[in-house]
Each structure stands twice: as C-alpha cells, then as structure tokens.
Structure 1
C-alpha cells in the first residue's frame, strides 16, 4: 500500500477537527485530531474496499505451501537488514544468526523459499532501524496514523525509511521491491483477520489499535522483556504474540 501520507496529514491539519474530549487526550498522541480521520479513512475506505478483499482473495486462491514459500522468500531478502540493525544495536550474536540464516536459506533453502535455518534452530530475529534508534536512546516521538501505512511513531517511520532503502536500492528493482512489499502486506493483513472481533467489540477501535501498536513496540524494543516501568497498563503479552 502507499507510504506517502504527508500530503494527507497536511490537508487534515489545515482543515482542522473537533477538540478531543479531555478523557481521550494522550501525551503520546498529540496529533490525535489528525490521526483519527486518517484512521477512519484507512479502515472505512482502504481496508474495507481494497486491502481486506484482496487479502481474502489471496488466501482463497493461493495454497498454503505457496504462501509460506513466498513469505519465506520475502523475509529472507530482509535478513541482511536485520543483521545490520542487530550489529548497530550491539547484538553481535543476533547479527550472526541473521547472516547465517541468509546464507543457509539462500542456498540450501533455494533462494529462501524454504526456511531451513529455522529447522536447525536458527530462529528469525526481527530487528529494524526504529528499534536501533530506540536502543540509541531516541524517544518514540508522536504517535502517527499514516494513510495506507497505518500506525507508527516519528521514530519508527524514520527507521522504516532507512530500512526500506538499504536492500531495495542495492539489490532489487522497483517491481521486485513492490512485489515483496505486497506479499508482506497481504500476509500481515491475513494474520489480523482472527483478531477482528476484538477490534470490532472494543469501545474505541482507534485507541485499541494505538495501544496494541505501542505495546508491541515496547515488547520488540526489549526483545520480549520490557522493564516494569516501560510496560503499558494491562500489558497483554499473549495477545501480542498472536499479532
């Protein structure tokens, strides 16, 4: 899906929105008057009419082994990015795992279509530049809801831009980059379908998505072991494991 949401954000900022009730104000979300209309646009238009139908169709017509192979291939392409970020975070062991996974899966795993590395105990370790910035002490910054992109923060969107250019600009053409992005987007949306009831039953879906996203960022930043002072109230680790 599209990543360039700056124009939409500026437009909504110029139009202006109603004041947020005091009980819904959140220091982490100073742009809530902008973020909420963007969230509605994402869910009511883009997801309802484009992403969810495309995901349902993709799941229906693509055999599970093929889907798994395509996702393995896409994730394998990203292993060098994981390794670079692990090294930048001082996690030498994790960097070594990512390099080993890439070499094994690119050869024995036939260009990454088969995750042979996991079968021998080398599990994937997801690291991104947003996490790297967090390890370096950079704060999250404002929570952002971007058109077509979804939830992020000022820090993470900066990290995503860096990660998005590391491999595509070196090894992949634009069509190849788009294909990998589409595969990941479809699989990510498919993984959320079982959680839709939780979202639909929540009192405020916007807040539900925001809290789930911010909790996930803390969880990932601390490799699944966030310190108590960083944990969000009612931190639901089991739910995050399912996302």
Structure 2
C-alpha cells in the first residue's frame, strides 16, 4: 500500500493538486461558509459517519506523529540527501508502479495510455538503470498514473465512508482496496521486504517534503480536519474523472450565475431597452427589404 498517503500526506497535498483551480481553496471556502452560517462546524456529513473516531485519529497523526517524528525526519532527509539522489530514488519508486498503471489504464479503456505505461516500464527498467533515470519522459512518453481505486470509481463503485487511519491517514474503502490490488501486480508482488520498505519510506519522505509549502494553508483553516476531508474527496473526484469533474462544476456555476443575472433583468428597464432595440432592428430590416423590391 502507498504510504505516500500517510498522515496528512494523503490529501493535504490535494490542496495543490489541481492546476487551474485548487480543491483546497474550494474546501476552505465551503468550510468558511458553513461556519459563518451555522456558527459551528457541521458534523452531519453523510460521507463521514465515523467522524468522532476519525477526528481522534487525525489529531494523533497530525499533532503527534507528524509534529514529533515525520516532519523532523523529512527536514533532515531534505537537508542531507543531494537532489540528484532524491530524484533517482523517486524515479525508481514510481517505476515499480508502471505495471499497475498499465493494468488500470487498460481496465478503464485507455489503450494508448496503457501502452505508454508498459513502454515506460521497459525503457526505464533497462536503459534507465532500474528506473533511476526517467528515460521515457525525456523522449516524450509521459507518466499516466492510474490506481485500481480510480478504476473502481470509473466502474461506478462509491468510495464508502471516509476513514482517517492511524499512520496511513485519509482513506476510504474503495481506495484502500485499490491499493491492495495494485500491490499484487508484478513487480510489487515479488519485491522483498527490504526493498518494499525502502520504497515506502522514499515515497513518504518525498510526499512530506512537497507538503512543506502547503502547511500555511492548513494552519489557516477554520477546521483542519474538515479542510483535509473536503480536499480528499475533491481530489478523488478529480482523479476518477481525469480532471473533468472540476471543469463541469465551473461550467455549471457559470450557467447558474448567468441564469441569476438573466432573472434580475426581467421586468427592468434593461429588458425594455433590449426589446425596443430588437423592434428597431426588425423595422430597419423590413425597410431595407422594401427598398430592394
């Protein structure tokens, strides 16, 4: 399983996952609106029936485990480890996921993306020296990451209740099951314990390192737990729809705004002027037709 989702990792990083429209900002706005209207955080989220327990787990993960262990270790790792070595380790860890990417792309009907994932695995595992060098990206074959949890989502399987797991952080039954399946795909299923642990540790530390710049957003949140939960679900929807969900939401919001604006004009002088202008244009058109005759 992907420990890179561990602790906050999960989906505070989701706060910067959307290019063009951060889910974290949407989550923050929703939470602020709810708090302003109700003077308290709404604890009746149907996605989160286990909220009292989940909040306890969140406090443990964020205020204890991360504050006193993960963050200090990550700072030391970033300080000591040269950038080229970090890049090589991340490339190698991601390369081990390419067969799972291949499988999930095929299951989702993305044949070309699946073949790209297979080509990446072959190239990077050989020419790229066991995946430490991302040769495929250099020649234009981009990474097409897909998880089995996302595949289940495209098949119509719901996420199930939100789960804040000890150490592993934000999760849900669909994603958790997907990680188990992805872990059974070659070569993940055959790598020994030491290599598997090394991969998990590298993924965890690199994810936490990327999170450093996002900590301010979490600290400013009215309710950090709700902030992470909302961002988590928005990220899931974004990934399952390949980013189309946010585009649809924006389009719908624009349509709603236009409908409201149109309703405001009804019965106003603007509406009268618009009708008058249309009548004048029709009269001008008739006069031109008569002249031509």
Task: Tell me the TM-score normalised to structure 1 length.
Answer: 0.83
Q: Show structure 2 runs of 5+ residues with no match.
A: 6-39, 254-293
CA distance in structure 2 between the aligned counterparts of 1:190 and 1:175, rounded to whole angstroms: 22
CA distance in structure 1 between the aligned counterparts of 2:4 and 2:116, rounded to whole angstroms: 32
Q: Structure 1 residue 183 and structure 2 residue 202: aligned?
A: yes
| SS of aligned partner of 1:209 | helix
CA contact (8 A) 1:168 1:177 kept: no
Q: Structure 1 residue 112 and structure 2 residue 131: aligned?
A: yes
Task: Tell me the TM-score normalised to structure 2 length.
Answer: 0.69
Q: Please state how far the C-alpha of 1:169 moved relative to its aligned partner.
A: 5.8
How has the CA–CA distance of structure 1 residues 55 and 173 changed in structure 2, closer, same or farther, with 3 Å as cutoff? Answer: same
| SS of aligned partner of 2:42 | helix
Partner of 1:211: 230
Spell out, residue by residue over 1:94-119, the C-alpha distance to the aligned partner (whole angstroms, 9 max, x if none). Answer: 11010011111111111111111111
Partner of 2:109: 90
Q: Please state how far the C-alpha of 1:168 moved relative to its aligned partner.
A: 5.8
Q: Please state how far the C-alpha of 1:184 moved relative to its aligned partner.
A: 0.5
Q: Please state how far the C-alpha of 1:23 moved relative to its aligned partner.
A: 2.3
Q: Structure 1 residue 134 and structure 2 residue 153: aligned?
A: yes
Q: Please state how far the C-alpha of 1:142 moved relative to its aligned partner.
A: 0.5
How has the CA–CA distance of structure 1 residues 2 and 147 changed in structure 2, closer, same or farther, with 3 Å as cutoff? Answer: farther
Q: Structure 1 residue 48 and structure 2 residue 64: aligned?
A: no
Partner of 1:15: none
Q: Which has the higher contact order (CA 8 A, sep 6+)?
A: 2
Paired residues in the alignment total 216
- 4+ residue stretches of structure 1 with deviation over 3 A? 167-170, 227-231
Q: Please state how far the C-alpha of 1:230 moved relative to its aligned partner.
A: 6.8
CA distance in structure 1 between the aligned counterparts of 2:4 and 2:113, rounded to whole angstroms: 31
CA distance in structure 1 between the aligned counterparts of 2:247 and 2:94, rounded to whole angstroms: 31
RMSD: 2.2
